[in-house]
Every structure is written in C-alpha cells, then in structure tokens.
A and B are shown apart, each in its own frame.
Chain A
Amino acid sequence: MRPLTEDETKVFFEKLTKYIGKNVLHLVDRSDETYYFRLHNEKVYYVSDSMLRQAVSIGRDQLASLGVCFGKFTKSKKFKLHITALDYLAQYAKYKLWIKPNGEGSFLYGNHVLKAHIGRITEDTPEHQGVIIFSMSDIPLGFGVTARSTVEIRKLKPTDIVAFHQADIGEYLREQDTLF
C-alpha cells in the first residue's frame, strides 16, 4: 500500500473529472474526515483516515481490499474505473442519463444504451462525455460515454447507440473475482 505518485494521480484525476468534473474537489477535500487515495496491487482505494491507520497493520500479501475500490491501473499505466466507484460518481455526477424500465435489463447485461431506451438526458451533454446512467426511479445503474451530443440524439433512429457501456451494477455478479 502506498500513496499515488504524481503521474499516477494525474492520470487518475483526469479520468475522474471526465465523469464528475470539478466535484473531484469534494472527494479530496472533505469536511468530516480526511479521505485518502491509496494504491495496493495496482488498484486505487478511497479510504478514510481512521481506516487507513488500521489497515497499515495488515501485511501486503494478506491485505485483500480496503475502503472503496475506485479502479485499477492497467499494465500500460492507464486507469480503468470500476463499478464500485459508482456511489461517489452518482453523487457528484454532472451529466446524467435516465433509462426507461424496458431498457434497464439490456444495459445491466452489458449492452450499450440505444435511443429507444432513453428516458431523459441532461441538456447540453457534449459528445464523448462521461455520463452516469440512472433508472427512472433515480437508482444509479452504471456509467458510460455518450456517442452523440444531446442535440444530435433527436435525429437518431431508435436502434442507434446513444451511450457506450462502460460499467453496470450487473458486474457485481459477472465479475465478482476481479472487481475488488
């Protein structure tokens, strides 16, 4: 377990700002307790100060996971966000997408979001923007990247892809082994 280096922090924050923009500040600078980002086995964990001090006493090989796993660094040092970060992303999301009930199932199985499934979408969402995907009852389902801007979505056919799937809560079942 170690803190992230400068380069790693840069890559990590850049990825986060794609989804929640300036609100990353709220993650770093918290009023109640200081939270840290720590790297362990190439995974980034978001852990509170008290938890961190306790976790320090666990050995490197014995420590499986701590706090909230936000994602992992790949072999080529790129950062991949995991679904376990969804809570924080959903809280501070800037651009949101709501799916109709008939489209939920498809998305939860890992498919992309089609125009027929869209319930609502925040105005002025640009193209290739990271969005958090909610159900109509405001339950966060996952996140993705928009394929088209909000303006262009109106011109699409019902079967065209609107948002690329990146992570969904179905992964808790599908990828139990590699998630944490």
Chain B
Amino acid sequence: MDVSAQLEAQKSKFKSINVEKQVPLQFDLGLLASFDTNALEENKLKTETDNYLKTYTRDGTQLLINEIFQLPLTSVQDVGVVVELPKIVTAIPREKPLPKPNPPTRWERFAKIKGIKKNKKSKLIYDEEKGEWVPRWGYKGANDDGSNEWLVPVPDNADPFEDQFTKLREAKKVRISKNEARRRRNMDEAETGETQKLENKSKAGAKALKKTELHQQISVAKTSTASLGKFDKPIKGEPSNTKGVKRKFEPNIGDIQKEKEARLNILNKIIDKKGEVLNVRKAIAKNHQEN
C-alpha cells in the first residue's frame, strides 16, 4: 500500500520545519526561550506588518520546537512522552527580596553577651562499649539518658519502693515538654519582635517603663481588697487615685451668698498669708510730714 502520495499531500499543507536564518538563534531551553539577533526586513515590516510578523514568529517558534525535540525523550506513565528541560542558563534577577535574618533567640542573645561560641559536633560518635560508630543523638544513639536502661541502681537516699524506671521515663517526658515550650516561646518571640524590642530599649526607657508599670500595679493592688480599697487608711504623701472618679462642680447659678462667702474666705486666706509688712521708710516719712 503506497501512502507516500497522501503523506506528500499532508506535508504540503504545512510549511517546512527547516528554517533558514542568517544568524543562528540562541536557546535557553530551561526557560523555553529563543533569542533572535537577526535584523528585521524594514520594507516588509512597513508594507505588510501583520503577515511579516506572523511568519517571523512562526519561524522562531519552529526553531525552538526543533531544539526541544532534539532533547532525549522519555515515556512517563499516565502522562505520556516527556522531555527533561536542561538547567536555566540566563541569569534572571530575584523574584522576591532577600529574606530577613531571624531575630536572635533567648539563648543566642545570652551566648552573645557571654561570648559562648558554638562548637560544631560530628554526627557519629565512637561508642566504646559497642566498639562502633553510633549517632550522637537519635535512633540507636549514644545519649540515651537512661530511659532504656535494663539495670538502674537505686540511690541511697531514695524511697526503696519508688520505681526508678518510671522515674527516669517521667524525667525524660518533662525535659521534652520543657524543650517544646521553649521552642514555642522562641517562635512567638520571633513573631512579635520582642527580642528586637528588648534590644532597642535603652536603660532610661526601661526604668521609666518599670516605674509606670509599678504605678499601675500599685493602683490595681489598692483596689484589690474586699471593699475595693474604700475603707483603707490613706497613706501620707501618696497621691489619691482620682481615676474613674467623676469630678463634681458647683452649679453655674447657685447660691449667690454662699459663693461670695467662699471666695472671700479664700481671698482673705491668701492676703493674710502674704501679710502687709509695715513699710518703715514710708512710715517715718509720713511721720515727718505730719510733724
């Protein structure tokens, strides 16, 4: 059966897969990109822009697809025939900004102040007993901290009926929970930026904060009695808590006489305090005049 004629007919429908270019294209198959440095034909661009650009793009895409098909094909189940793209060659700028360094945890801050340096430890450690290299921690590790011991000596000062095995296991559980709590606290502190706050706080600021905190605590403690601090004896020199107490004023047009009297009282007190000092010089001068 000769199907070559039909094949020819089919082929003639489409354009040729071979494309001639003056300057060969550069390809970055990792990005599925081709870079064409050929010059565009000016007259064609001006006269028949759409068609020219269409054929130009088609040629470029054809060359790119030729390159892709040159890569080794593999058949993957459920997906089909697949080509593995090579690594990206062109250097593209970062998509996202650089990540900020994590704020130091409580231990890191302490270590910085004390000058404690981290010593890098090896993962495997030579176990003398077993005579082989075992992991320092973890599964079948060396630091078992006694939770899987087969023999545990009872110390002298311990209760003879106490179960030493459960004691060790409970201790380990406590240690794990403490560690977990610390880890969670570190995470929370990193989130809220508390470590930054503590680092940036100046000594004077910390003192002032402490003072206001103390004042608040005092005022809270004062009202934390059974009768909300109403019948407590007032301490000398302590400012009375006027928070939440509504001020009461005299009525705008109240008792005229009363107001006048009150005012005069205050005024007289002030004048008496000042005192009219006898002006000796003036008195003498006056006396002279009279005489």
Contact = CB atoms under 8 A, between A and B. Distances in A.
Interface of A: 1-3, 5-6, 9-10, 13-14, 17, 21-22, 24-25, 28-29, 34, 36-38, 49, 52-53, 56, 123-124
Contacts, number: 56
Given A34-B256, A124-B281, A3 B264 contact: no
A45 to B, nearest CB: 12
Interface of B: 247, 249-254, 256, 259-260, 262-264, 266-267, 270-271, 274, 276, 279, 281-282
B252 A3 contact: yes
B194 to A, nearest CB: 34
Contacts of B274: 17, 21
A13 B267 contact: yes
B250 A3 contact: yes
Contact of A124 (B247, B262, B271, B282): B282
A38 B254 CA distance: 12
A149 to B, nearest CB: 12
B279 A38 contact: no
Given A6-B262, A123-B282, 6 more contacts: A3-B254, A9-B263, A10-B266, A28-B264, A34-B260, A49-B256
B270 A2 contact: no
A123 B279 CA distance: 11
What 6 A-B pairs have minimum CB-CB distances, sorted nearest first? A2-B249, A3-B250, A28-B263, A9-B266, A13-B267, A13-B270
B258 to A, nearest CB: 11
29 contacts: A2-B249, A2-B250, A3-B249, A3-B250, A3-B252, A3-B254, A5-B247, A6-B266, A9-B263, A10-B266, A17-B267, A17-B271, A21-B271, A21-B274, A24-B271, A25-B264, A25-B267, A28-B260, A29-B260, A34-B260, A36-B259, A38-B252, A52-B252, A52-B253, A53-B253, A56-B253, A123-B282, A124-B279, A124-B282
A127 to B, nearest CB: 14
Nearest to A17: B270
